[in-house]
Structures are given as structure tokens and as C-alpha cells.
């Protein structure tokens, strides 16, 4: 009796229903990664501060996208293999907690706990992008019609004191966005996936329209002639010169500079940030009908291929048609690497915006593209809420979280309480990004900003780096699982596809992710700690690392608390983790 599922797990059935098709899973993954990429695929390229140069006919950004994409195929094979024999919602949390000996449950918990908060931070990031997308729609219409109302779209949702999307206007607008997200996620599972699939198809159509019209009508001369008219006199030559002066257009090498510096890995870390989500159908594998291996593999590889294309050739060609150095200067100004000239139009160089500048007569087309570009950051949010809720469901089955958190609603066929919890956390992060709450409670150092109006508030850059750092284990541990599974849990994976090659796939992926996180995360921290050029505390705070540490500490405390409770209740957790959670 002690080994029965009824005693070990909180219940004998997950309550989920397998009603997600391969097509649904593919578009679930697609919606999970695109975010602002449709219009802003080039806006992100200098976030890491690494020069962007042309090598072999393409930019180094494109070559990094190809390399990361090639490595991503290994991750797709790993997930397809493991989900085929462990088809449970919760994804890598389930794999890690069952495969890694002794410390697997703790690692699985920390991996998924940090990933859940990384995803909440990304929802906050995408909320701002959605509102910025609406501002850009207004600017495009203003350029086309001359309307003062639309030309002043940069003031929409902003605090008058800072000009940023913050304060009461930012909070109210953000709450409206999250309310719309709630409307989508609080649908029965089958209907939810239909909504995501149809909207993703519309969005991809907008991307195709952007690619076609960009190729046909983007022109460097017309863009350069028109830019000063709409950007308060800022010229392409000024942007290009500023990019050169900031070192953003030269001095790049694919080789490492030293054992502690390899700029290409900074770029790769941002590329992972761009790609994150392409693999998330593995986390809802407990709901995929039919052949799970085939479904997960098609969904992950299909989304990965689109992610590579949208972050390589697509932005590469369009940016170069407008003048590469000028576009690098614009995105450098957007991310704060350039202070003079200021950011043109006060927005990132999204393709629909630069299209309206180059060809203002085609503004209705750019507005349609802008609508699709705004749709994707919004669409990412309900997908992430569902993804987080499935992790919470797996926690509750394993007694890592209260049973009520993972209770499945008969109407939704989904863990409604977990969905509400994810939405509530999104509202909390929204409050932190719009008001200096952290500063009011003495924790303002977690979100420092030179602008006193923004000091103590979460911001886009910190949210991005928080997501990159906090999701580290979720990138690294799949390699560990693939490397160990054949030897530590032959009973679980004996029928897994690619079993013979699984350790090699895991070893290569593990080496890639460890090298990446060494150069992109750990090494910079160590350099600051030992170099003395910048306060280590200031650096850790500004990059979100301190915030990750706080979240991790809370996760450790909760794990210990639950372990003590389970032990006192007589739950044989060691035996529980020898078994798969209920289907």
C-alpha cells in the first residue's frame, strides 16, 4: 500500500485531457517565442553590447542564430526522446526529478521554480512591448495622416514626469492587457489552443507581409531623406557615426578573447532569449494526443526553424536595405549605448516604423504589419501563463506545492488555480515596474536607475537579463538528463527513441550551455567582483542577478519547508520520485 500512487501522489489522475493536436503544439511553440520579433528582430541585436559586423555575406548576428539553431536541434531530439517515454505535463521538471540521482528532486524544483519566475518577468517585458506596439501603431498612422493625436502617441500610457510607460497610466494600461490575457487563458483547453492557433496564423501572415513589402519597398536613400522629417532632425549619418564611435560596428571576432571573455557567447545568450519558448510543447506533453514523440519533435523543430529564420536572414536583409550602420546606431541608442543622438521617434527601429519613414505613402500596409507585430507580444503572455500552470500542476502532484494549486477545473480542463496564481504574479510584477515599491520597502537596490523617476522600478533591460539568468538551469539540465537517463533510469527510458545517441546528444548540449553561461553570465560577474571597476553590488543589481538570487533563496526555503512537511506526513518521497506522476 505504501508504494501505491494513491498514497505517494496527491491524486491518481492529473485531470488533464489529451486534446492538443500536433498543429496546436506547433503554434503554441511559435507563439511562445516570437514576442516582439516580427517587427523588432533587429532592435535586439546590440542588447549585449557586442559589435554587429558583416562576415561572409551575413551579419555575425545571423551566423550566431544559425549556430544556436543547430544546437537547438539537439535539444529538440532530447525532448522528443524523453517525452515519448515520460509524456507528462511539467516537462523538464519531471525529467530532472526522476533521472538525476539523489538531488534530482531539488534540482528539478529549482530549475522549474526559477523558470516560472523568469517567465513571469518575460510576461512583464511583453506587456510593455504590447503597449509600445500600440504607440508605434499611432506613430505610423500619424506619419501617414499627419494627425496630431496619433503623432503624440508616445504620450499614451506614460507618466508625464518621465515619459515612460509607468506610473498610474502604465499600470491601468497593463491591467487592461492582463485582463485580455485572462480572457484568453480562462477558456477550455481545446478552445484556448484554437484561439492561439488562429491568432498565430494571422500573425505569421503579417510577418510574411512585412518580409515581402520590406524587400520590395525598403530603400536606403528614401529612408535617409525622410528620417530627419520625423525624428527631429536626426540623420542616418549621425546614427552611423555614433554607432562607430560606440564601437558597435567593428572589432568583432568569433574567437574568444581569453578564458573569461568571448563576446560571441554574449550574443548567443541574447539569441537564446529570442528563442526561448520554441521547446515549450514538451511542458504540455501530457495533453498532446497521438504519437507524442512525433508531435513534440515536429512542434519543436518547426518552431525552431521559424525562430532561426526570423532572427537571421529576415532582419539581416531588411536592415541592410536601409543602411546597416544607421540601423545599428538606432538600436544602440534604444538600449542606452548611445546618448547622442537621441532615439529617433522615441521608439525602437521596428520594421513597420522604419517602413513608414521610408515609404509613408504605404502607411496602411505598415499599420497592418504593426498590428501583427503588436499581436505577438500579447499572444506570448497567455501561452506562458498556460505553460506556468502546467509546471504548477506537476509540483502539486509531487507534493512540492499545495494540492489546490494544481486542481483541474472540469470546465477548463486545466489547473484554474495555477492560472489565477500566474496572473496574480504578473500583476505583482506589473506593480513593481510601474511604482517604486521596491524602493519604498528598502529594496530599491534591486532595480537601480539613474533616472530618479524610474529608480526602484523594474525595467526592460533588467527583465531581459533576469530572464536569461533565471532560465539557466532550464537550458543546462536537459543535457544532464540526456547524459544520465540511460544509466540512472534504464527502466524509464528503455523504449526511448534515439536512446543509443542520447548520452552524446546530452554531452554536446551540456557543453554548449555550460560554455555559454560561463562566458555570458558567470565570467562577467567574476570580472566585476575581482576587477574593482564597478561596484559588484551595483552590477549584480542592475543586471537582475541579485533579484535572481532572492528568488532562488525563497525557492530553497520553500523546498526545505515542503520536505519537512512531507516527511512528517509519512510520504515516501524517495519512492514517489521513482515513479512517473499520474497521467
Give the span between the Cα atoms of 160 and 183, in whole angstroms.
30
Q: What is the pLDDT of residue 106?
A: 96
Phi, psi of 207 (to 5 degrees): -65, -45
pLDDT in tens, the chain (583 residues): 334 444 676 666 666 778 889 999 999 999 988 888 899 999 999 988 999 999 999 999 999 999 999 999 999 999 999 999 988 888 899 999 999 999 999 999 999 999 999 999 889 889 999 999 999 999 999 999 999 999 999 999 988 666 688 889 999 999 999 999 999 999 999 999 999 999 999 999 999 999 999 999 999 999 999 999 999 999 999 999 999 999 999 999 898 887 778 899 989 999 988 898 888 888 888 888 888 888 888 999 999 999 999 999 999 999 999 999 999 999 999 998 999 999 999 999 999 999 999 999 999 999 999 999 999 999 999 999 999 999 999 999 999 999 999 998 989 889 999 999 999 999 998 998 888 887 787 777 677 777 777 777 776 666 677 788 888 999 999 999 999 999 999 999 999 999 999 999 999 999 999 999 999 888 887 777 776 655 666 777 667 778 888 899 999 999 999 999 999 988 888 888 888 888 7
Q: Name residues whose C-beta falls within 8 Å of residue 528's C-beta, 6 or more positions apart in sequence.
A: 534, 536, 539, 540
Q: What is the pLDDT of residue 1?
A: 36
Q: What is the pLDDT of residue 392?
A: 95
Dihedral, 60, 65, 68, 70 alpha carbons, nearest 10:
-110
As given in the structure block, the three cell numbers for residue 75 are 535539444
Q: Find the angle CA(120)-CA(18)-CA(399) to the nearest 5 degrees.
A: 55
- In the chain, the number of structural domains is 1
With respect to residue 570, please indicate whether it lies within any of the assigned structural domains.
yes
Interior/surface letters 318-350, b for 16+ CB within 10 angstroms, e for the rest: bbbbbbbbbbbbbbbbbbebbeebebbbbbbbb
Give the span between the Cα atoms of 277 and 32, in whole angstroms.
5
With respect to residue 144, please indicate whether it lies within any of the assigned structural domains.
yes
Cβ of 258: how many Cβ atoms within 10 Å?
A: 8
With respect to residue 583, please indicate whether it lies within any of the assigned structural domains.
no
Q: What is the pLDDT of residue 534?
A: 59
Q: What is the DSSP string of 433-468?
A: HHS-HHHHTT-GGGS--SSTTTTTS--HHHHHHHHH
In which element (H, E) is residue 59 found? strand 58-59
- Nearest CA-CA partner of 432 in 92, 83, 34, 125: 125
SS in 3 state form for 523-538? HHHHHHHHHCCCCHHH
Q: What is the pLDDT of residue 507?
A: 97
With respect to residue 25, please indicate whether it lies within any of the assigned structural domains.
yes
With respect to residue 581, please indicate whether it lies within any of the assigned structural domains.
no
Cβ of 444: how many Cβ atoms within 10 Å?
A: 17
Q: Please identify which residue in the block is written with the cell numbers 518547426.
A: 302
Q: What angle separates helix 22-34 from helix 189-217, to the nearest 10 degrees?
A: 60
With respect to residue 79, please indicate whether it lies within any of the assigned structural domains.
yes
Give the span between the Cα atoms of 265 and 267, in whole angstroms.
5
CATH number assigned to the domain comprising residue 343: 1.20.1740.10
List the helix and strand counts (H, then E) for the chain.
27, 2
Q: Please identify which residue in the block is written with the cell numbers 488533464.
A: 16
Q: What is the pLDDT of residue 291?
A: 84
Domain region containing 183: 5-576
As given in the structure block, the three cell numbers for residue 544 are 537582475
Give the span between the Cα atoms of 49 and 448, in whole angstroms.
19
- Nearest CA-CA partner of 71 in 297, 294, 295, 301: 301
Give the span between the Cα atoms of 402 and 420, in whole angstroms.
14
With respect to residue 582, please indicate whether it lies within any of the assigned structural domains.
no
323 preceded by a cis bond (ω within 30 of 0): no
Query: Are the beta carbons of 467 and 125 closer than 8 angstroms?
Result: yes
295 preceded by a cis bond (ω within 30 of 0): no
Q: Name residues whose C-beta falls within 8 Å of residue 532's C-beta, 6 or more positions apart in sequence.
A: none
Query: How far from each other are the two terminal CA atoms of the chain, in whole angstroms?
Result: 20
With respect to residue 301, please indicate whether it lies within any of the assigned structural domains.
yes
Q: Find the angle CA(490)-CA(293)-CA(204) to the nearest 5 degrees.
A: 145
Amino acid at each position: 500500500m505504501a508504494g501505491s500512487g494513491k498514497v505517494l501522489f496527491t491524486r491518481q489522475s492529473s485531470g488533464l485531457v489529451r486534446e492538443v493536436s500536433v498543429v496546436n503544439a506547433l503554434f503554441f511553440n511559435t507563439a511562445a517565442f516570437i514576442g516582439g520579433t516580427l517587427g523588432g528582430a533587429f532592435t535586439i541585436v546590440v542588447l549585449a553590447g557586442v559589435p554587429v559586423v558583416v562576415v561572409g555575406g551575413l551579419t555575425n548576428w545571423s551566423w550566431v542564430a544559425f549556430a544556436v539553431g543547430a544546437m537547438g536541434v539537439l535539444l529538440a531530439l532530447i525532448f522528443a526522446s524523453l517525452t515519448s517515454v515520460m509524456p507528462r505535463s511539467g516537462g523538464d521538471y519531471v525529467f530532472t526529478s526522476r533521472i538525476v540521482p539523489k538531488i534530482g528532486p531539488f534540482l528539478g524544483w529549482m530549475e522549474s521554480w526559477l523558470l516560472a519566475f523568469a517567465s513571469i518577468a518575460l510576461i512583464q517585458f511583453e506587456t510593455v512591448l504590447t503597449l509600445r506596439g500600440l504607440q508605434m501603431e499611432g506613430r505610423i498612422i500619424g506619419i501617414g495622416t499627419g494627425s496630431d493625436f496619433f503623432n503624440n502617441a508616445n504620450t499614451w500610457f506614460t507618466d508625464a514626469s518621465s515619459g515612460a510607460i509607468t506610473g498610474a497610466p502604465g499600470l491601468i494600461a497593463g491591467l487592461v492587457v492582463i485582463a485580455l490575457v485572462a480572457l484568453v487563458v480562462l477558456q477550455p483547453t481545446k478552445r484556448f489552443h484554437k484561439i492561439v492557433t488562429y491568432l498565430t496564423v494571422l500573425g505569421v501572415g503579417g510577418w510574411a507581409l512585412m518580409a515581402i513589402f520590406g524587400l520590395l519597398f525598403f530603400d536606403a536613400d528614401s529612408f535617409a531623406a525622410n528620417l530627419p522629417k520625423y525624428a527631429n532632425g536626426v540623420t542616418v549619418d549621425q546614427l552611423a557615426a555614433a554607432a562607430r564611435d560606440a564601437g558597435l560596428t567593428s572589432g568583432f571576432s568569433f574567437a574568444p578573447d581569453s578564458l573569461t571573455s568571448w563576446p560571441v557567447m554574449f550574443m548567443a545568450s541574447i539569441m537564446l532569449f529570442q528563442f526561448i519558448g520554441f521547446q515549450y510543447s514538451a511542458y504540455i506533453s501530457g495533453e498532446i494526443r497521438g504519437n507524442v514523440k512525433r508531435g513534440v519533435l515536429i512542434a519543436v523543430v518547426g518552431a525552431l526553424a521559424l525562430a532561426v529564420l526570423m532572427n537571421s536572414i529576415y532582419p539581416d536583409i531588411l536592415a541592410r536595405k536601409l543602411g546597416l550602420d544607421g540601423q545599428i546606431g538606432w538600436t544602440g541608442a534604444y538600449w542606452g549605448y548611445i546618448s547622442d543622438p537621441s532615439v529617433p521617434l522615441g521608439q525602437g527601429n521596428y520594421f513597420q516604423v522604419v517602413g513608414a519613414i521610408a515609404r509613408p505613402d504605404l502607411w496602411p500596409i505598415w499599420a497592418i504589419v504593426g498590428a501583427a507585430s503588436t499581436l505577438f507580444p500579447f499572444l506570448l503572455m497567455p501561452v506562458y501563463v498556460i505553460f506556468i500552470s502546467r509546471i504548477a500542476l506537476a509540483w502539486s502532484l509531487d507534493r512540492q506545492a499545495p494540492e489546490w494549486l494544481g486542481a483541474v477545473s472540469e470546465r477548463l480542463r486545466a489547473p484554474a488555480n495555477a492560472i489565477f496564481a500566474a496572473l496574480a504574479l504578473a500583476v505583482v510584477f506589473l506593480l513593481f515596474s510601474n511604482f517604486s515599491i521596491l524602493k519604498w520597502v528598502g529594496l530599491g537596490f534591486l532595480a537601480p536607475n539613474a533616472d530618479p523617476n524610474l529608480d526602484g522600478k523594474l525595467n526592460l533591460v533588467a527583465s531581459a537579463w533576469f530572464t536569461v539568468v533565471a532560465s539557466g538551469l532550464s537550458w543546462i539540465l536537459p543535457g544532464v538528463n540526456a547524459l544520465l537517463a540511460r544509466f540512472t533510469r534504464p527502466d524509464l527510458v528503455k523504449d526511448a527513441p534515439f536512446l543509443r545517441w542520447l548520452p552524446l546528444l546530452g554531452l554536446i548540449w551540456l557543453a554548449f550551455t555550460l560554455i555559454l553561461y560561463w562566458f555570458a553570465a558567470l565570467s562577467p560577474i567574476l570580472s566585476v567582483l575581482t576587477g574593482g571597476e564597478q561596484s559588484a553590488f551595483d552590477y549584480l543589481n542592475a543586471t537582475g542577478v541579485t533579484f535572481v538570487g532572492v528568488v532562488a533563496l525563497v525557492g530553497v526555503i520553500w523546498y526545505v519547508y515542503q520536505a519537512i512537511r512531507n516527511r512528517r506526513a509519512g510520504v515516501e518521497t524517495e519512492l514517489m520520485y521513482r515513479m512517473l506522476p499520474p497521467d
